[in-house]
Structure 1
Amino acid sequence: MELEKRPEGRPQEPPRRSDPEGCVAAAVRVPVRIVALVLVVPVRMAWDVLVVAGRFLRDTVFRPAGRALAWLGRLLFVWPLVGIWRYAVVPLGKGVAFLGRVLLVVPAVWLYRRVLTPAGRGLYAALAWLGRYLVVVPAAWLYAWLLTPVGHALAWCGRGLAWCLGLIATGVGAVLYWTTRVLVVLPALALWRWVLTPVGRVLAVIGREVVDALGHAWRIAGYVSRAFGRFLGTLWRWTVAEPARWAYRSVLTPVGHAVRDTVLRPLADAGRAAGRVTRQALAAARLTVRQTRADVRRALFGEPAKPRPVDRREPSVAEARTLGSSTTALTKD
């Protein structure tokens, strides 16, 4: 339930705009967006072309080259350094640490425990007595009877001087404050409030509209670039790819099959047959030459001597060595 009712005869006021920069924004938005669209479309298309080329180079050149360089770097630097560290530096460091411990630390600890500690304990009482009566007692007397009164006097003088300087600084500070406020702060405040703030708002509106226009133009340019790319792809497909595919399937493939069946295959069969005939003729010629050479050798030098057969039989039981005989088949006459 409303606590206060409006009078019936009074018309309702329209809501006021809370944005005082609406006129400037409306006046700047349309021309800025048109100019941005005209300027950004070529840039976006060039950017898309560069992106496609960069991806192609990345996948075909840079990535394999990077992998090869990484493998080469591991082979030339990482693995040798790891081997040197693992098999040379670490054992050498352990050896040096062991020698340092044995040659330095252990003797130093023994010297400290067995020599320096007993000597220090025997000298402590004499040094403490001398330090007390030669240093502590004179220092306490000097502090109590000389430094304390002088310090109090200096502190009183310092407080008076500080009060005087504070009074002077307060007066000078007040004068400087009001001078700076009247001559610098108030003009700067007026300049900020009545000049820089309105100009900054207008520039902010213009900048925001320019940024928004560039964003819209970039998105629209992306759509245009995508559509142009699809158009080029479709044009390439229907003017080059599809005719080439049709020509390959409908013309080149049948012609190639016909040439293969009518020309190449008979030529291949004829070549194989000629090769077989040539090989047979060469074999017959080699056999004839071999037989002729054997006949000439027999006619000039006669029949070659036949090799005597070698008896490779095992010796008989009678000729073999027995347990009761000292002869063998080789020494027997």
Structure 2
Amino acid sequence: MYGMDYGKHQVPARYEAGEGCLTTSIRIPVRIVVLVVVLPVRMVQDALVVAGRAVERSLLRPLGRGLSWLSGTLVVAPAGWLYESVLTPLGHALRWLAAAVFVWPWAALWRYVLVPGVRYGLAVPVVWLYGAVLTPLGHGLRWVYRELLVPAGRGIRTAVGRVLTAAFVRPVTGLWRYVLVPLALAAAWLADHLVVRPLGWLYREVLTPFGHGVARLLDRLARGIAAVGAGLWAAVGWLVATLVVAPLRSLYRRVLAPVGREIAAAFGVAWRVAGYISRAVGRAVVRLAWNLVGAPVAWGYRTVCTPVGHFLRDRIWAAARRGAVEAGRAARSALRSARETVRRARHDAWRALVGGAPQPEPREPKGPLARSLGSTTTVPSAAPEPEISPPGVKNAERG
């Protein structure tokens, strides 16, 4: 709406010749009606778009930045400090405690009790029993089976097989070969001559011709019914196409399609024209608002507020800031002097109450001197020292 770029749009091209008088007669009224209907909608949409952009630029972005900074200051930083300073050491302590209570005792029990017990109490005896007892016993049993039981079993199996063959197999074979097989052949011959051949003759000579005649009759009836149905269906289709489809097709092609096409084109043209009108109205409103409100406010800001602000900043605020800085420096110096005085007084009071370290005092240097300082007596059996004192002694005497 206000300053929006709609791009370059062109009016739809005219339809080709032969579109009819109905299309030409309804085009202009339809476009006028659609423009009247669409214009308020387009202006409301453009106004909402501009208002949304202004709210997003002036309110939502600063609010989002403030909420982000607030969350980072009040939530993320305390949470990070809590995690690094409290939760991490607490987690390490809990892990060490859990390992000391649950892991290390069971690991020690497994390593120093169960593994040696199973190894030396069960595995070693079982291995010795297998190698020293079970393996030789198995080898002996295998030799007995191969050398004694297998030959004896072969002889017993041959004898038992011959007895079973003479007692059961040969009688059953003779019964099958000389009794059951001849009876079965005789029964098959009788069934073939008394049942199969008569039934085959009946099927070939009677049932097959009768079935062929019935099938031919049914095929002729089906073809006649299909021809009648096809004719009826063609007649019904022709009636439907002539009385229903053709009028509907003509109505769609000559009335509905042109009307719908014109309405769609009218909506497109009206939407673009409404955009131009909305942009013009928006520019007029912006210019009117600038001339009535913005220009006076800008002139007042440049003419009145800016000089007053500069005067307050340079003459009053700068002097007040310098005075505040000097006052702060003086206050800090006074506080520093007061702290130093209090510290010295506290130190002196503490030394007076409990005593302090003894202060070193100047004294005579120890050594084999021929004569002590401040006296004229001479130490017996000592060589006389020079009367000139060392530099350290001179300084001690001066002090």
- Using structure 2 for the length normalisation, give the TM-score: 0.41
- Using structure 1 for the length normalisation, give the TM-score: 0.48
